[in-house]
Amino acid sequence: MATNEASQNQAPNLPEWIRLLPLGKVELADHREPFTVDEKSLKSIVAAFRSRGIDLVIDYEHQSLNGERAPAAGWIKDLEARGDGLWARVDWTEQAKTYLAQREYRYFSPVLRLDPETRRPMALMHVGLTNVPAINHLPPLVARWSGEAQAAAKCEALELALGTPRMAMASAKEKSKMVEKLKSLLGLTSETAEGEVCGKALEAFRELGVILDLPDDATVAQLRGAVEAHKAGAARLANAEAEVQALKACLAEETTVRFVEEALKAGKVSPAQRGWALEYCRRDPEGFRTYTERAPKLVPTGEELHLKKEPFDGEHGLAAEELAVCRSLNISAAAYLQAKGQVSGDRY
């Protein structure tokens, strides 16, 4: 009897891995806007942790934020992005194990750096043991390691005795899902043997490496880098093509204006037709050039004429401009002089 009581009172072993963040929308209890955890944010958190190269502290009540003495309750040795969220491998201190075993601390609270626009976590700063967590529906740490953990252990022991281990069954089910997903991605039929899937995946992997001009033993990181380089090159090419198109448009407009100005000077287009000529030339440059080559002169002033003053005509006493008026009106110089005299006589 005493042995059974000692066994019941013995503190359970704390698990090495705990889930810090669930995947999906995370509701908060302090009226702050919820944030969302997705695969991209999980990868960002893990990458930020590994780039720092140090263990993250788990303190008590976020004392690390106050700049005061902040003893560690444990240290986060590693982070993993899994299908259900962010998991941490924790090395607990003896004091923290005592607190947790005695249920003096039951919850944890992560400190995150969020993207201000998307409100997605980008990095984990540290974690604090607390009894007042901000995250809603957070399972208590102690519940996982007390009665529930013991019940789960008994259930697993029973399943093992019956030859139907729950974890093995779950693992086989997940593996089957992954194999079917690979078949779909590789374009294989569902009847394809499982042993062929890995070979086909490796073949596709190598083909992609050849397309990207990488060696046969290229890693996933090298493939990712080559793809990013191609994406960057494609973006630069698109920008260059846009600049070329803009230059072509500018050159075409300059050519259009030059053709129309030449047509105006040649008298093939009147000033009143300038807008029509520009539109015609933009739409069909070759057609406009053919038109200007074959069209007769519309006005004699198409060439820029500069009339010069000439000496008075000895016979009629008219200047060159006055003679031009006579010719344009088809009247004689005498009639012009007569009319000129009448107009001059009427002025006051």
Q: Are residues 107 and 22 in the same domain?
A: yes
- Where is pLDDT greater, at 38 or 202? 38
Q: Are residues 248 and 148 in the same domain?
A: no
Query: In this predicted structure, what is the pLDDT of residue 172?
Result: 64
Domain-located, residue 217: no
Domain-located, residue 97: yes
Q: Which two tokens stand for residue 151?
A: 């019940």
Q: Are the C-beta atoms of residues 45 and 20 closer than 8 Å to each other?
A: no
Domain that holds residue 346: 307-348
* 336 vs 289: CA distance, rounded Å: 43
- Tell me what the mean pLDDT of segment 102-126 comes to: 90
- Where is pLDDT greater, at 268 or 10? 268
Domain-located, residue 227: no
3 state DSSP class of 22 = strand
Q: Are residues 34 and 173 in the same domain?
A: no
Q: Are residues 42 and 183 in the same domain?
A: no
What digits encode the pLDDT tens for the residues 294-318? 888 765 544 444 444 444 444 466 7
What digits encode the pLDDT tens for the residues 193-232? 776 777 777 777 778 777 878 777 777 777 778 788 877 8
pTM (predicted TM-score) = 0.41
End-to-end CA distance of the chain: 144
Q: Are residues 249 and 114 in the same domain?
A: no
- Residue 110, H or E segment: strand 107-114
Q: Are residues 109 and 41 in the same domain?
A: yes
